[in-house]
Structures are given as structure tokens and as C-alpha cells.
Amino acid sequence: MKHYLRNTLFLVLIAFVTGGCDANGRFKLHSKLTGTLGIATAISKETGNRYTIRIDVATEGIYNLLRGKRTERYISRGHIRKGVYYSDFFTIERWQPRNHFHDLSEYRFNYKAHKITKHYQTWNGKKLIRQSTNSLEHFGHDDYLTVMRNAAYLAGKTPAKRTTYIVAGSEETHNKVPVYLSTDPNLIQRWGGSKGGYLIQMGIHKGIFKKGSGSMTVLLDAKKNPTKFIFSNLKTIGTLTGVPTR
């Protein structure tokens, strides 16, 4: 369960900020089998040509019972060009008090050198036990918090198509992530979306799926606000759903 939740919470975050530029929200991650597994709070702001996205996540329910409360924080800061977000700095930070676990991944984007540098640190309690610095093998302007937002921004501007994005934070797939965007009303309705809305699917390769790979489907309304996201064919629990909540 520990390995499963660690990967799932990370993946589900990318659905939270696909709405408007100044969208704020609280989201619940749950399944019929296990009930609520996590709660996330998302804040997205623009100031001039700069943006900031912050996501805070806390596990809930059965996972807290088995492993103790886990919290995670994701922050993306960058600049805006012609409405598209370009990440300058992206961080992933995680805590699990019961295991005295704390780690931090920092990604810095160098647009002149076309390079993304990752600095990683791990602590056991207050003791730093590991750190490393390396450059990613591919360069792009997206991280895991900007990619779905940028795909949603382009919705309606281009016909349905599949695009491969270079995404910081996705080293397990060599930083390459396929994203499919559609406005097909029949397809959107089959997934439970609303009329005039949008559908975005992201290809995922992780051990949480029964065959090692799968997808996350995000449904947006006509104003491009997220209404639902769905992980299908997961190990143990089958389907995992995320919805906005108060």
C-alpha cells in the first residue's frame, strides 16, 4: 500500500490545476473499495507575466491507519508567453513522520543552455542521508503541474490530437509524456463529461497499473474547469476517481 499511494498521489496532482488561470480548489481522491484516500488543496495565481502553482496533499482513511499520515507539497513557478506557462522552478517535497522520512526534489530550468538540473535530498529525521545533482536527458518547458494546464489552454484551438510533452518529474519515462486532447461530444459523454466540455488523457507507465501502463482521463467543463479525473485498471482497487469538494 505504501508504494501504491506514493505513486498515485503524485499522478493525481496533475489534474488539479487544469482550470482557469486563477483557479483555487479542494479535491478528493477516492474509490468504491477503499473510500477516501487523499485530500488536496490547489492554488494557481498569475501576476503580470509570472505564475505560481502550489498543491498540498494529505492522505486520508485506510492509508493513515496502515502507514501514518503522509503529506506532500508541489510548487511550480515560472513565466508566461502568449498564454502558455513556462516553468522556471519546480519542487516536490514529501513527509512521512512515522518513518521519519522527508525528501525534496528541485528542478531548475535553464533556457539559455537548454538544460534542466535536478537536485535531490533525503533526510532521516533531521539528518541528511543522501543528496545528488544531475541534468535530465531531455529539455522542455513543462513540469507535472504545467503540462495539463497548458494542454487545457490549447483545448479548442487545435483539432483532437495526441502530443508528446517533455515533462520534468517524469524521469521513469525519460521525461516524455503522451497527452491526448479531444472535444468529441460522444467520447466525452461516454466518460461522464458535460456537453461542450473537453477530455484530456495522459499516458502513464507505472507499476500501479495491472499491466504496467495506463492512462489518466481528465474531464473539463465548457469553461475548462476540471469536473472529474479517472484512473482505470489499477492494481487492487480497479478505478480511482477524483472530484472537486468543499
pTM over the 0.85 mark: no
Task: Give whole-number Cα distances, 150 to 90, 142, 143, in Å.
Answer: 16, 8, 10
Whole-number CA gyration radius for the chain: 17
- Residue 226: the pLDDT is 79
- Residue 222: the pLDDT is 85
Calpha distance 220→62 (Å, rounded):
29
- Residue 67: the pLDDT is 63
- Residue 142: the pLDDT is 95
Q: Which residues of the chain have pLDDT under 70?
A: 1-24, 63, 65-67, 156-160, 205-214, 233, 235-238, 246
- Residue 46: the pLDDT is 93
Backbone angles phi, psi at 20, to 5 degrees: -65, 165
pLDDT, tens only, 106-128: 999 999 999 999 999 999 999 99
For residue 41, what are the contacts with CB-CB under 8 A and spacing of at least 6? 25, 26, 27, 55, 56, 57
For residue 143, what are the contacts with CB-CB under 8 A and spacing of at least 6? 76, 87, 90, 107, 167, 168, 169
- Residue 130: the pLDDT is 95
How deeply is 55 buried, as exposed, middle or buried, from its count of CB atoms within 10 A (0-12, 13-18, 19+)?
buried
Q: Which domain holds residue 182?
A: 2-245
Calpha distance 151→15 (Å, rounded):
11
pLDDT, tens only, 47-62: 999 999 998 888 877 7
Q: Which residue from 87, 60, 61, 83 is spatially nearest to 74, judged by alpha carbons? A: 87
Calpha distance 246→242 (Å, rounded):
13
Q: How many domains does the chain have?
A: 1
DSSP 8-state class, residue 19: S
Q: Which residue from 59, 62, 21 is spatially nearest to 40, judged by alpha carbons? A: 59
